[in-house]
Amino acid sequence: MTVLQKIPAKKLMKFMRFWPPYLASGIKVDAINEDFTKIQVSMKQYPWNTNYVGVHFGGSLYSMSDPFYMFILLEHLKKDFIVWDKEAKIKFIKPGKGKVRINFEIELSRISEIKSEAIEKGKAEPEFETYIYDEKDQVIAHVWKKLYVRKK
């Protein structure tokens, strides 16, 4: 078990902004619901996360979408399961400017299904999708994630 795995998930989320890749990109966890099934993340635009043509750097947009589905599942499945990101894809729809945000959600019923599938079949590979929005609530990117879940 790593040092980070020993920190309660909600506490870890509060300190994510100080994680070097997030600190450098200005990525911030804004909200987590009570049952840890929803996380909202945002990123303000700064000169250091802006690309040559004046919009958000694509790598920073991907970084803000990277670990949060995994964190939600890890929190609910605890130490009895392995949860890894397996595949990811991001489709840039329009240039992102200003403050951008993304929401992650896995309903408790879906978490239960994933857990059951991992136990019954030896593994589960759930897929999730979400969107990154700009300040005008326009979609700037579509994010697709596939995770790998199995019982230890």
Residue 59 burial (CB count, 10 A)? 13
The parent domain of residue 19 ranges over 4-151
- Please count the other Cβ atoms lying within 10 Å of the Cβ belonging to residue 107: 11
Residue (of 61, 59, 55, 57) closest to 41 by Cα position: 61
CA pseudo-torsion sign 94, 44, 106, 147: positive
Q: What is the pLDDT of residues 22-67, one digit of tens each?
A: 777 788 888 888 889 999 999 999 998 899 999 999 999 999 998 8
The residue with greater pLDDT, 114 or 35, is 114
**Residue 96, φ and ψ in degrees, nearest 5:** -100, 125
- pLDDT number for residue 61: 93
What is the number of structural domains in the chain? Answer: 1
pLDDT averaged over every residue in the chain? 89
Distance CA 140, CA 147 (A): 23
3-state secondary structure at position 67 = coil
CATH number at 67 reads 3.10.129.10
CA dist 7 and 140 (Å) reads 33
Is the model's pLDDT at 105 over the cut of 90?
Answer: yes
**Percentage of residues in the chain with pLDDT exceeding 70?**
86
User: What integer pLDDT is reported at residue 79 of this predicted model?
Assistant: 81
> E strands, 52-122, where?
81-92, 100-105
Instruction: Tell me the residue type at 133.
Output: Y
The pLDDT tens digits for 3-20 are: 445 556 666 666 666 676
CA distance 126 to 72: 13
Residue 144 has pLDDT above 80, yes or no: yes
Asked whether the beta carbons of 86 and 148 are under 8 A apart, the reply is: yes
Give the separation between CA 104 and CA 85, rounded to whole angstroms: 14
For Cα atoms 70, 72, 73, give the angle at the middle one, nearest 5 degrees: 65
